[in-house]
A and B are shown apart, each in its own frame.
Chain A
Amino acid sequence: MRAVYAIVLVLAFAALVTDHLTSPSSGRAKSPEDFPGACAPCGAPCPSAKK
């Protein structure tokens, strides 16, 4: 189990850093709720907006 953890940790961290270095990252960290029309933590619209 310990070896599995070490491998997962290294691979996941490498993927994370690669993603960060190859993706836009300027600006404050955001939640989907920060965007106009969001009605849930995932950014789903309100039922009233879909009618």
Chain B
Amino acid sequence: MTDITLGTTGAAGAAPRFDWPFLAAAVAATVLLIALVLLDGQPASAALLVFGFGLGAVFLKAEFSFTAAWRRFLVHGEAGGLLAGLLVIAIAAVVIVPTAALLPGYGGAIAPLGPSLIIGACVFGVGMQLANGCGSGTLYTAGGGSGRMLITLACFIVGSVVGSLHLPAFLALGGIDPILAADYLGSWGGLAATLASLAVAAAIVVGVARRKGSAFQPRRALVIGGILVGLLSIAVFLAGGHPWSVTFGFTVWGAKIAGALGFDFSQAEFWQWAGPKRALGDSILSDTSSLTDLGMIFGAMAAAAATRPFARTAWPPAKSLLAATIGGLLMGWGARIGFGCNIGAFVGGVASGSLHGWIWLGAAFVGSYAGITLRPWFGLSRD
């Protein structure tokens, strides 16, 4: 997620102006997609589009930002944004951990533990600080009118396709099977352990903030946004059967484009696994992450166009665009090698009681620190 300014025009305090063409386009596109999946008799797919739309609007209005929150914590010790992120996970975990353990047809976000997870998450962390947004942040800022993040999104897609070709080789480096709290402690014990781990993380974050003399209370908008994002994450889980994820959709979009341009994936191991193979052959609207991604783009677009002229800002300097390009490529590659982004790996993983979510966070934090040190090379602030 990002702290990119999406751009406003007009005097401060002026009445909000609707941007009717883009507002109408965002709403019409969403309605048409909903109609298409309903024609196929798929109300759950329609629900995923609607919940994605809500997520896009909430992220944009609350300016929910993992990327900026991590940077403020690493540079200044400010903890408010990080705590809001932990709030999202705690809310989601209350439903996801027991439901995934007890109800057939539902499952948590899991991933193997090994070099692939650590390397991918670390590279993703570098990329998110250069791009100024992670997976969901790229979606809502690109949807919200940031041309810079539109470039990041395109490069994210390219990087994730390249990552899909490299993932089998990284998996061959070794690793162990996923570790789920519910497998060892039962559904409710797993939930208790997950909530306890979140409380410990929050205590550590607040302790660091206090020692640095920095603020640790989240802004009111972040608390409200965090609650709404947490509830929408639950809704996505219940509709889709798995925790909300973002980046697999990008990989499918990129592979479909590459396939249309003549690239042959029949020899690529990743695309022979059952899930990716099915996603590549079927409609994009048959993939759960694509549905929420599309909803999120149009939700952010509608929210942005409902309050100000859309995409009226000038393009940023070339060095900033270069950072957006490199950041997008690194995030895409890292997300595929490391099993997801802040949402799919960290939020989804921890909210499922899976150990890989915490390992992903640690490695991505290391990468983020490196990315923050690189930001001035591209004319970006370290703050």
Contact = CB atoms under 8 A, between A and B. Distances in A.
Interface of A: 1-2, 4-6, 8-9, 13, 15-17, 19-20, 23-48, 50
Q: Identify whether the interface residues of B are mostly helix, strand, loop, or mixed.
A: helix
Contacts of B339: 40-42, 44
Interface string B281-299: 1111111110100100000
Nearest to A36: B274
| Closest CB pairs A-B (n = 8) | A32-B275, A43-B275, A25-B283, A35-B274, A23-B283, A40-B111, A1-B147, A20-B283
B135 to A, nearest CB: 12
Contacts, number: 169
Given A29-B42, A50-B171, A43 B177 contact: no
Given A35-B278, A46-B178, A47-B171, A29 B311 contact: no
B136 interface: no
A41 B292 CA distance: 15
Contacts of A15: 257
A35 to B, nearest CB: 4
A21 B214 CA distance: 54
B284 A19 contact: yes
A43 B344 CA distance: 13
A46 B315 CA distance: 44
Given A4-B150, A5-B147, A44-B339, A30 B294 contact: no
Interface residues of B, number: 69
B114 A47 contact: yes
B152 interface: no
A9 to B, nearest CB: 6
Interface string B251-269: 1000011000000000000
Interface string B22-58: 1001000100110011001010110010000000000
Given A25-B285, A47-B114, A33 B311 contact: no
B283 A24 contact: yes
B288 A44 contact: no
A41 B344 contact: yes
Interface string B49-85: 0000000000000000000000000000000000000
Contact of B241 (A4, A34, A47, A48): A34
